Amino acid sequence: MCTTCGCGEGETRVEGKALPHHMHTHADGTMHSHALDPGVAHAHDHVHTIPADHGYRPSSHAHDVGRRVRLETDILAKNDAYAQQNRARLAAQGVLALNLVSSPGAGKTTLLVKTIEALKERVPIAVIEGDQQTSFDAERIRATGAPAVQINTGKGCHLDAHMVGHALDKLPLAAGGALMIENVGNLVCPAAFDLGEAGKVVILSVTEGEDKPLKYPDMFRAARLMLINKIDLLPYVDFDIDKAIAYARRVNPLIEVMRVSAKTGEGFAEWLAWIEKGVSALRG
């Protein structure tokens, strides 16, 4: 369940198999699987829309706001517990896990395919693919020879650590390799959810606009690295790359930045070296 938009009541599937539950949290703090019964009141974190002609009275909503904050805190605490389990599991195998986040269409899957092909002789890579529907991206990854598990989130707009844990049960990981988690295309909700990764890598394409780091600061603040992708298109789009970098560093002074083209391979040597450095650190 997303703490922001109330998503996640659809069925979540890992490789086509429904998960037993998806972050349903009740007022007493319990979390379990159930079928939604219209006759039973559930304390889920829903967003309520107030009609324009409704007289809004803040005092009448004070209890709902307090409960919402409590449930959001509880949901994230449970997610973080799952994330720590994932992190310990990956550390035991010496696997570097990266959470790739972006808007839809920024080029995550194409970048992943090129990365796998470039590193397959040096770093074994496995992939978890997150999408609301279809297994198109997982099929593209498997075509490279890399193992991939598809998570379909249904109505959900992001992956959470519980889903990733189930995916890890199905995914063969090579010790001393890398795990790439391609999150659902969304610059909002994935920022709040730790999956057990070593870091988030945010991909910003030059077709999106240089103002995205200021419009979606939580994501850029949470990321270790920003890849500015599709730089081969710079001559054809109105994108100020220096402003994009300055805006990202305004919200996150420590963020690393690389300029890449998944199509031409420009800038890839730096990106590949960054991954290999992280893998080497875990290999000791």
Annotate 120-134 with b (16+ C-beta within 10 A) or e (fewer).
eeebbbbbbbbbbee
pLDDT tens digits along 56-88? 344 455 567 667 667 667 788 999 999 999 999
pLDDT score for 28: 34
pLDDT score for 247: 98
pLDDT score for 13: 76
Give per-10-residue mean pLDDT for the chain (284 aa): 56 74 39 32 32 44 66 84 98 97 97 97 97 94 97 94 97 96 96 97 97 98 98 98 98 98 97 98 85
pLDDT score for 8: 56
Integer Cα distance of 149 and 45 in angstroms: 29
What domains are there in the chain, each with its CATH number?
79-283 (3.40.50.300)
**How many CA atoms does the CB half-sphere of 28 hold within 13 Å?**
3
pLDDT score for 68: 65
pLDDT score for 74: 77
pLDDT score for 94: 97
